[in-house]
Structure 1
Amino acid sequence: MKYLIIICFFTYFFHPVSAQQIDWESIAPGVWRGTVGESEKYDLLSASGSKPNLPALSRLGQVIFPLNKEEVNAKSLDGKTYLQLPLDENEEIFGFGLNFKTVHQRGRIMRLHMDHYGNQDNGRTHAPVPFYVSSKGYGVFINSSRYLDVYAGTGSRLDSKNPAKALDRNTDPEWTASPYSDAVEILVPAKGVEFYVFAGPSMLEVVQRFNLFNGGGPIPPRWGLGFTQRVHRLFNQDQVLAEVNEFEKKGFPLDFIGLEPGWQSKSYPNTFAWDKERFPNPEKLIQSLKEKHISLNLWINPYVSPEASFYNELKPYYGSHTVWAGAVPDLSIPAAQKIYWKTFKKSHIEPGIGGYKIDEVDGYDRWLWPDVAEFPSGLAAEQLRQTYGLLVQRQSSQLFREENRRTYGLVRASNGGGVSFPYVIYNDYYDHRDFITALVNSGFSGLLWTPEARASSNAEEWLRRFQTVVFSPMAMINAWASGTKPWSYPEVEEEIKEMALLRMKMMPYWYSSFALYHFEGIPPFRAMQLEKGFNVKEEKESNELANLEENPYNEAIKKELKDQYMAGPNLLVAPVFAGESERKVVLPKGKWYDFYTGKYVGNGEVITVNARLDQIPVFVKDGGIVPLMDPMLHAPGTNQSYDLKILHYGESPGHFTLYDDDGISYDYESGHYSWRDINVIKESNGKWKGSISAVGDQMPNNIGKVTWVFMSEQEGQTPLK
């Protein structure tokens, strides 16, 4: 008996735990769910309430399972679940949420942990989405609301089929401090987990399936794609209207204006009630703005002041800890939701506000609730931290849905499952280059990110930041603290104004791009790696100047392409940063043309472009079509017609699907929308000819006169002006 006990002891503590069976289930064409152990009931998908768009997924077609199931392993130990997924030698992986400095994620160790971004891509970020995409044409999503430890091709296993080679550091120049690893390994702190595998075959199709599995992206109200200006936190009602009037007087477009914390009677923590001195008649303000075709956005964070009207009623549903002395409502509980959002509905939404800026649902640790906090739902503090951004997005947008009125707002935190929410992520970080890298990364994870414009040290920087705002999901000026206005630098005022009007001209293009996001899952802003024909070899570069006494394990790092991106179906955007006189642009295979002149620029090569103050470099693929309208100071309203100018680029026939609906309601979900086929062909006489399909009976039709511009015939002119 003694020997049996000793054998059992050694078997339990020293023998590796054998792999557990993974139960696989086909969910939709190209989507499989794997389940191991006892998965938790509260996860990212249950928090977000996302529902797959099965018809759209079916249209992508049937594909085979993209991995060898025998090489996907899972096991449980000490109440934790370990997942292991294979990596080939030359395979690259992308994603894992909103990263600001890196695009390639292989070789990185991360803890996916909701937090304010702290200047490091270590997993602590505003959207730590546990989804990655492989260059082999598949993706993996871990549906867990826990902090996840990710070893993205860093752990070198002894039992690997392709083990790392043991090299002599002293004599072998190939020695590396990061030995070869052939797996992505993920630690889930739970007894089980469900995860999903998405097939391609292309990386873009993987991302499409992921987005459609989560319901597809949002279609903002048309006004949401215009400009927003955020005013000083202590502005009063008259000052807000004066700001609006100044935009109108200067001829700068404006579609929605944002109020910062001072609109409330008290903030940090919040009453969510209008300050009666600064805003004696908020209903009149909202109505006055509506008459000017401008919507109102209100800043909030969710933490409840003891002086809030519903503070005592909500008491049974608060967590154990406060944030800025404000109570934290457990918004996973339906009864808490009902009490909490009642005031928002009555005091904000029913009078007609357009949306919210939802702040500080991400971190930092020193002010958010700690992981030792307790909540009445029984959920762990980390689970609510990982999902609080999802909860506030879901519940606030539902209030607008009940009014059959679309919203478009800002949020500081999101996660897997939040693809369909009409919110754009922002933060307090302000590195312009890193803002563009975040925009590049956003398309891998079903996110929208805005590289907003705030303060600038000089006119050129202000212009360069403004240009990237124009080519982003939300054209936001958030310079309330510095007081910077679009016209604050007279030496670039005209260039700024032209860029602002270009944003408005491109409204039909942007609106159709977001419709593709919703109906087909194609991100409106995405990395070059998702573009057909893009195949750049990003070599490692050595750091020969490194001090080996300070870092004896210094080695070469990958030089990444992270400062250009695709916008909509046809445009390649390559921002210029302050101080640059030129920049390099990597073109995918196929002919590309200058957006402004139609001039041919290259095919599958690296080009150098000179920096112009009046332009952000933009290029159009061969056969690309860009529909424009005349510039307006406000986005077209319901039943407001506008003329269309359709631009065609290059030497190939072109096709574009133009989307239209009423611009404000959710009626499109019931089929009240129209797609119009735009086609350009070359006739037998060598002349280009364009056509646009008719609109069905009773379907939306806001298009007036249609004119055509074939850029190949412009001989270097600039018909965009």
Structure 2
Amino acid sequence: MKTKMRILPLVLLCIISFCCSAQSIQWQEIAPGVWKGIAGTPDTYNLLQAAGTTASPALQKLPKEDFPLDAAEISFQLNNGKTYLRFPLVEEEQLFGFGLNFQTVHQRGRIMQLHMDHYGTSDNGRTHAPVPFYISSRGYGVFVNVAKYIDVYAGSHVRRDSKNPPPVQDRNTDDIWNAHPYSDAVEMLIPAQGAEIYLFAGPKPMQAVQRFNLLSGGGCLPPRWGLGFTQRVHRLYNAGQVRNEARLFEEKGFPLDFIGLEPGWQSKSYPCTFEWDKTRFPDPAGFIKSMDSTRVKVNLWTNPYPAPDAPIYKQILPLTGTHTVWNGAVPDLSIPEAANILFGQFEKAHVKIGVSGYKIDEVDGYDSYLWPDVATFPSGHSSEQIRQTYGLLVQRYSYDMFRKNNARTYGLVRASNAGGASFPYVIYNDNYSHQDFITALINSGYAGVLWTPEVRASKTAEEWLRRFQTVCFSPMAMINAWSSSMQPWTFPEVAPQIKAVAELRMQMMPYWYSEFARYHYQGIPPFRGMSLEDGFSQGIKKEKVQASLQENPYEEAVTQEVKDQYMAGEYLLVAPLFTGQTSRKVILPKGKWYDFYTGKLAGDGEVITITPGMDRIPVFVKDGGMIPMMPVRLHAPAKGEKVDLEIRHYGDKNGSYQLYDDDGETFDYEKGAYSWRKLTMEKQAGGEWKGAITKPEKNKINTVGSVTWRHMAP
């Protein structure tokens, strides 16, 4: 009897402790509309620490908002050394985000493990940017700042004690029986003793995304030349062949701003020496200088795993992990000394002679390629933590190297994560589904990363043109010909259309550059999904799957997603076509929208069907939209070069736009050497349109030449 009396208080104590732990997240408002919560004892090494970025000052200037959820409904439990988190959902709420997904935009009801990896044709959480951040259609965002694999149940399961349970159905009699009943929570399982959590208010989804990006330092601001056109040449090209490639672009009148060299520029690759191959590139400095003289910059492929005969191998070896990648050592880049050795070699052998940037490969996954989870690292961080953050680390320290040399860069990387928005890198992969590429472009805007739907090869001229059209409306306009050696004019029958869209990319550079400036200073993604656009209301449309019960015993309704159209900057809606399509539907948000090419009214907040033909990618401009454009050029404007502008205005509404300007190449903008100039277009009493631009600020950058105005009327 005495024994029972002793046990009972302990049981009660455990119950009380559990209840308290479920309510023990301590929230602190760290910026207007941003709250930081601590659950348990979080790991000291996390995503934001690995990224090393600091919040943008713009975050503190945003308006205050109320805490967007019921704090009592956000629960935390520590069980068996793991953290359980639970966030509430309401019935009609939709979720976006959870990293760089390639096939799905709506994430509610899905189960994922957010795990750094190559995308393997399934949206299961294993992807190039497994960002633990999601956005709700109700206008708030949640970010879990943990560098571990996170199991996510995004409204997929029903708790027995749910306060908002779904109705119990009888499959025998209920025609709308559902194999996946409504769930009222997002639940996460984290292999750690706690977690650092951030909650972002809106009040709209876009504002929550802004706050998340600004917490990461704001979006990247590429050099102007980075927004031009790039060609990655065959992996074994030599200096002469690269020069000849650039010469052909010039002769044929195709724009080109930077060329990418693939593995053959190094004396050895897989693993890498990081040294120039003396047979293919006997005079690297002279080669870079000759390329610069033609206004074409050079980007280098690499992976960060030193070969045994690399010049830094012995020095860096004590700072590497226990396992190799293709027999190359894996530097523990969470140790600054290791990063200094690796990128010190890059700076000395590449950047100091004028190399403009990198394509950093194989930092994402394939379990059989990267180090296993049993690997250990000298920092003491787990293999899992290093894998989740390696993409951040290579971006961080390479970017620091370019900032040190006051030369902006723009490159490619295979992996990123939360905290990496400010790094000037675009993600790519080995998948080659055009449809998946566009879905990924949409999802990149929810994840704080950039993605390129690159062109590599095509079986037909139609496919080549359709793919090329989409890269010219993406963060990086690139042909990756490392294996195919293909060039823009490979299919002569569509070469004129290819040239026209490449020229359009260059003409639109003032618009793209201003939109990336908004990304940097305001956190607004330059390319993003339709759910972030005001006036877009698709709802949650479900259609019944028609299939044999033997083939599909749990037949149910499926949610239809919008994953083939997206916003490009403030005013443009892009609706690409894929090979074999001759027509498509486009969902126009509320208000009038106009054809980008003709100015003709396309529709007013409705679903339209278009048959655009092959020559042009369908693009629509919202009413009052203004698009600053420059003359057709083969290269981006050089530092200090003035450029004439044509400002195009669409629709019936008066228009306004903020045009960004700086030197386009250096980090002097961080010291205030930049300007915003307001463009306006107003209808006069007589019906004519009149445009105006504010005067340049005194002692500020001004690269604007003459300005002409064009109202796009059909």
TM over 0.5: yes
The equivalent residue for 1:362 is 364
Q: CA deviation at 1:326?
A: 0.8
Equivalent of residue 188 in structure 2, options 186, 189, 192: 186
Deviation by residue 1:396-448 (Cα, 9 ceiling, x = unmatched): 01100000110000000000000100000000000001100100111011110
User: Could you give the per-residue CA deviations for residues 654-681 of structure 1, whole angstroms, max 9, x where no partner exists?
Assistant: 0000001000001111110011100011
Partner of residue 690, structure 1: 691
Q: What is the match of residue 88 of structure 1? A: 90
* Corresponding position: 1:40 with 2:43: yes
Relative distance call for 1:96 and 1:324 in structure 2 (3 A) is same
CA contact (8 A) 1:20 1:36 kept: no
Where 1:166 maps in the other structure, the secondary structure is coil
Per-residue Cα deviation, 1:162-218 (whole angstroms, up to 9, x for no partner): 112221122112321111110011111100111000000011111111111111111
Q: Secondary structure at the match of 1:685?
A: coil
User: Does structure 2 retain, via aligned residues, the 8 Å contact 1:217–1:518?
Assistant: yes
Does 1:219 find its partner at 2:221?
A: yes
Matched to 2:27, the amino acid is: W
- Secondary structure of the 1:102 match is coil
Counterpart for residue 233 of structure 1: 235
Once the two structures are TM-superposed, the CA of residue 10 in structure 1 deviates from its matched residue by 7.3
Q: What is the 5 A alignment of 1:345-360?
A: 345-360=347-362
2:573·2:619 contact (CA, 8 Å) conserved in 1?
Answer: yes
Q: Spell out the pairing of 1:246-257 with structure 2 (5 A cutoff).
A: 246-257=248-259
Query: Does the alignment pair 1:650 with 2:651?
Result: yes
Q: How far is 1:551 from its partner?
A: 3.5
Give 1:718's aligned residue: none
Which whole-Å deviations, capped at 9, do the CAs of 1:7-31 have from their partners, x for residues lacking one? 5897799999431411111110010
Query: Distance in 1 between the 2:570 and 2:196 partners?
Result: 33
* Structure 1 residue identity aligned to 2:400: Q
The answer for the alignment partner of 1:432 in structure 2 is 434
Distance 1:33 1:489 in 2: 54
Deviations 1:33-90 (A, max 9, x none): 0101111110000000121113x12332111111111111111111111111100111
- The answer on 1:675 being equivalent to 2:712 is no
Aligned position for 1:67: 69
1:319-338 equivalences in 2 (<5 Å):
319-338=321-340
Deviation at residue 3 of structure 1 after TM alignment: 3.1
Letter of the aligned partner of 1:301 in structure 2? N
| Alignment of structure 1 residues 551-630 onto 2, 5 Å | 551-630=552-631
Deviation at 1:5, TM superposition (A): 7.1
Using the alignment, how far apart are the partners of 1:88 and 1:582 within structure 2? 37
Q: Encode CA deviations 1:670-708: one digit per residue, 9 max, x unaligned.
A: 110011100011111111100001111121111111111
- Per the alignment, residue 478 of structure 2 pairs with 476
Secondary structure of the 1:46 match is helix
- Native 8 Å contact 1:227 1:475 kept in 2: yes
Paired amino acid for 1:516: R
When residues 213 and 576 of structure 1 are mapped into structure 2, their CA distance, relative to the original with a 3 A threshold, is same
TM norm structure 2: 0.98
Alignment partner of 1:516: what SS?
A: helix
Amino acid at match of 1:603: D
CA distance in 2 between counterparts of 1:530 and 1:335 reads 41
| One-letter amino acid matched to 1:578 | T
Contact 1:117 1:124 in 2 (8 A): yes
Deviation at 1:549, TM superposition (A): 2.4
Task: Decide whether the 8 Å contact of 2:627 with 2:648 is kept in 1.
Answer: yes
- Conserved in 2, the CA contact under 8 Å of 1:622 and 1:651? yes
CA shift at 1:612, angstroms? 1.7
One-letter amino acid of the structure 2 residue matched with residue 592 of structure 1: W
Aligned to 1:108: 110
Find the counterpart in structure 1 of residue 344 from structure 2: 342
Give the AA of the match of 1:388.
Y
What is the CA–CA distance in structure 1 between the aligned matches of 2:12 and 2:283, rounded to whole Å?
A: 74
Q: CA deviation at 1:236?
A: 0.6
Amino acid corresponding to residue 144 of structure 2 in structure 1: I
Find 1:199's aligned residue among 198, 201, 216. 201
Whether the aligned pair in 1 keeps the contact of 2:23 and 2:72 (CA below 8 Å) is no
Q: Is the 8 A contact 1:580 1:611 kept in 2?
A: no
- Distance between the aligned counterparts of 2:59 and 2:533, measured in 1? 20
Q: 3-state SS of the aligned residue for 2:274?
A: coil
Q: What pairs up with 1:523-534 in 2 under 5 angstroms?
A: 523-534=525-536
The aligned residue for residue 25 of structure 1 is 28
Match of 2:265 in 1: 263
Give secondary structure in 1 for the equivalent of 2:37.
strand
Q: Name the SS of the counterpart of 1:315 in structure 2.
A: helix
CA contact (8 A) 2:77 2:83 kept: yes
Q: CA deviation at 1:315?
A: 1.5
**TM-score of the pair, normalised by structure 1:** 0.97
Q: State the AA in 2 paired with 1:450.
A: T
Supply the distance in 2 between the matched residues of 1:184 and 1:121 (Cα, whole angstroms): 17
Cα RMSD over matched residues?
Answer: 1.4
Contact 2:593 2:621 in 1 (8 A): yes
Q: Is the CA contact (8 Å cut-off) linking 2:23 and 2:74 kept in structure 1?
A: no
Could you tell me how far 1:6 is from its partner in structure 2? 6.4
Q: Which moved more, 1:389-398 or 1:10-19?
A: 10-19
Deviation at residue 122 of structure 1 after TM alignment: 0.6
Structure 1 counterpart SS, 2:710: strand
Partner Cα distance (2:14, 2:109) in 1: 30
Cα drift, residue 538 of structure 1: 3.8
Deviates more, 1:156-165 or 1:268-277: 156-165
Partner of 1:661: 662
Write the letter of the residue equivalent to 2:701: P
CA contact (8 A) 1:17 1:77 kept: no
Tell me how far apart the structure 2 counterparts of residues 307 and 328 of structure 1 sit (CA, whole Å). Answer: 14
Q: Per the alignment, in what secondary structure is the counterpart of residue 143 of structure 2?
A: strand
The AA in structure 2 aligned to 1:468 is T
Q: CA deviation at 1:331?
A: 0.5
DSSP-derived class of the 2:329 partner: strand
Contact 1:576/1:611, CA 8 A, preserved across alignment: no
Percent identity over paired residues: 61
Name the aligned partner's letter for residue 44 of structure 1.
Answer: L
Does 2:638 correspond to 1:637? yes
- For structure 1, the 5+ residue unaligned runs are 716-721
Cα distance in 2 for partners of 1:530, 1:648 equals 23
CA-to-aligned-CA distance 1:633-660 (integer Å, 9 cap, x gap): 0000111111100100000000000001
* Partner Cα separation in structure 2 for residue 43 and residue 174 of structure 1: 44
For residue 469 of structure 2, what is the aligned residue in structure 1? 467
Q: Which amino acid aligns with 1:96?
A: F
How many residue pairs match? The answer is 711
Cα deviation for residue 384 of structure 1 reads: 0.4
Opposite residue 118 of structure 1, the aligned amino acid is G
Distance 2:132 2:527 in 1: 20
Give the match's secondary structure for 1:121. coil
Cα distance in structure 2, aligned partners of 1:342 and 1:492: 45
Structure 1 SS opposite 2:359: strand
Comparing 159-168 with 227-236, which one deviates more in the overlay? 159-168
- C-alpha offsets along residues 141-164 of structure 1, whole Å, 9 cap, x if unaligned? 000000001110012011111112
Alignment partners' CA distance in 1, 2:394 and 2:27: 32
Q: How does 1:395-410 map to 2 (within 5 A)?
A: 395-410=397-412
Letter of the 2:654 counterpart: P
Q: Which runs of 5+ in 2 are unaligned?
A: none
Q: CA–CA distance in 2 between the matches of 1:114 and 1:378?
A: 19
- Once the two structures are superposed, what CA deviation does each residue of 1:475-513 show, in whole Å capped at 9, x if it has no partner? 010023112110010100000000000000001000000
Corresponding letter in the other structure for 2:624 = G
